Amino acid sequence: MEGSIAVAETVRLCRPQVISAYPITPQTHIVEGLASIVADGRLDAEYICVESEFSALSACIGASAAGSRVYSATTSQGLALMAEVVFNSAGMRLPIVMGIANRAISAPLSIWNDQQDSIMMRDSGWLQFYAEDNQEAVDLHILAYKICEDHNILLPAFVCFDGFILSHVYEPVDIPEQDAVDAFLGPFNPYQKLDCNDPISFGMYATPEYYLEFRYEHDQAVKRAAEAFRKYGKEFGEKFGRDYSELVTQYKTEDAETIIIAMGSICGTIKDAIDEMREAGQKVGLLGIRCFRPFPSEDLRALLGNAKRVAVLDKNVSLGAKGAVALEVKDACYGMDLPIYDYILGLGGRDVRKSDIKNIVALCEEGKGDMFYGLREEVL
């Protein structure tokens, strides 16, 4: 099954009552799939056609505030156009789930994959989950609704999966049964909602006497989501047989001297490269960031205790600084006697192969890093 269709079918199982999205490559098949599902009567939902991504998420805000479970999906420029609404929906603490088929940001125009788009919204107060494969993209959608709608959390979430690399790839995916998803999620139970008979306004004005406290409460809620992820991830594992109780996935890290940290589909390639390096006697492991917001700083600190060096692979760059993941890892490990090197790679759809992973491990062992990896010197 194609990744996008697997996601669309899973969203159907979550029974959103309102879907509003604007098509954009490589997210198109998700919303196309959902539009068909609604048109065919396989999901009882309002599918609101809009003229832009700004309107799509605005419609989601209204629908969510009115007490509906809602879904949207976008990528790249679409997410950029949504920016104001992204921050508003988070501040209004609406549990919206949105799929992000990760894509590079213009200019130069690129429809291909990297993770700059969702990273751009790093500070928006949305939760951010990253899928390694299509099964995780499916599972994280269900889990996201469970976490977001918890009355102790009440936040929106991105479920990020790499554009084309996952969204357009065909691979076996276990789509859960409707009964099981219903039992896990239950019907949407809004904490508060728009009601003509009991009026309320969302996202009101805050004077300087209140704004700081609102931001603090928001930050606390994002941080609490780590525990909710573990709790519901464990529950998900018990119900569906695939465990999500950890914010960070581990692969052969126990005795690893060099640990790679990465996010998204690249983790699959890294695991294959690690298998080959292990056969050659190299002690290499992988920590995959499954939950980027909240950032699992304490988890990483504990998991990197025995490592000798760390290579962080970033499919994004905070221009003028470093990759967003590396910045977080360096912050998490501050004070530890541990060299951490950043490698910016795979931007705008550049392939990352097993040989690249091996080259990076070699560079890391030589103490070379904090660089763009794989630059074509001849065009510079």
Query: Nearer to another protein by C-beta: 26 or 95?
Result: 95
Per-residue contact flags (x/-) with another protein for residues 311 to 330, judged by CB under 8 A: --------------------
Q: Closest distance between another protein and the C-beta of residue 229, in Å? A: 20
Owner of token pair 């904090």: 370
Between 98 and 284, name the residue whose CB sits nearer to another protein: 98
Between residues 62 and 91, which has the closer beta carbon with respect to another protein?
91
x/- letters, 110..129, toward another protein (CB under 8 A): --------------------
The β-bridge partners of 249 are 288
Among 109, 206, 321, 362, binds another protein (CB under 8 A): 206
Residue closer to another protein, measured from CB, 217 or 238: 217
Among positions 23, 62, 67, 203, the unique one binding another protein when judged by CB under 8 A? 203
Site for another protein in 209-248 (CB under 8 A): 210, 213-214, 217
| The only residue of 187, 199, 320, 367 in contact with another protein, by rule CB under 8 A | 199
State the nearest-atom distance from the C-beta of 65 to another protein, in Å: 8
CB of 153 to another protein, least distance (A): 10
Nearer to another protein, 201 or 281 (CB): 201
Distance (Å) of CA 356 to CA 263, 325, 373: 16, 19, 9
Nearest in space to 162 (alpha carbons), one of 329, 3, 373: 3
Contacts of 174 (CB under 8 A, 6+ apart): 135, 138, 242
Q: Is 37 or 155 the residue whose CB approaches another protein more closely?
A: 155
Map residues 75-94 to x or -, x wherever contact with another protein holds by CB under 8 A: ----------------xxxx
Question: At closest approach, how far in Å is the CB of 81 from another protein?
Answer: 23
- What CA–CA distances, in Å, run from 31 to 55, 63, 89, 190, 337? 15, 17, 20, 25, 47
The CA distance from 222 to 314, in Å, is 23
3-state secondary structure of 199: coil
By CB under 8 A, what part of segment 132-161 binds another protein? 154
- Judged by DSSP in three states, 380 sits in coil
202 interacts with another protein by CB under 8 A: yes
Q: What are the backbone angles phi and psi of residue 211, rounded to the nearest 5°?
A: -60, -45
Minimal distance, residue 183 CB to another protein, in Å: 27
155/87 Cα distance (integer angstroms): 11
Window 36-75: contact mask with another protein (x via CB under 8 A): ----------------------------------------
* Nearer Cβ to another protein (58/316): 58
The Cα 125–Cα 130 span in angstroms is: 16
User: Binding residues for another protein, how many (CB under 8 A)?
Assistant: 20
Buried b (16+ CB within 10 A) or exposed e, 205-232: eeeeeeeeeeeeebeebbebbbebbbeb
Q: Which is nearest to 309 in space by CA: 268, 242, 370?
A: 370
The CB-based long-range contact list for 191-200 (8 Å cut-off, 24+ gap) reads: 191/93, 191/151, 191/154, 193/65, 193/66, 193/67, 194/62, 194/65, 194/66, 194/67, 195/67
Residue from 180, 200, 321, 362 that binds another protein (CB under 8 A)?
Answer: 200
Measured from the CB atom, the residue of 174 and 195 that comes closer to another protein is 195
Measure the CA–CA gap between 9 and 79, rounded to whole angstroms: 22
In the complex, least distance from residue 201 CB atom to another protein, rounded to whole angstroms: 5
Binds another protein by CB under 8 A, chosen from 178, 192, 220, 355? 192
> What whole-number distance in Å separates Cα of residue 236 and Cα of residue 84?
33
CB of 204 to another protein, least distance (A): 4
Closest CA to 26 of 117, 124, 96: 117
Under the rule (CB under 8 A), what is the footprint of another protein? 91-94, 154, 191-192, 199-207, 210, 213-214, 217
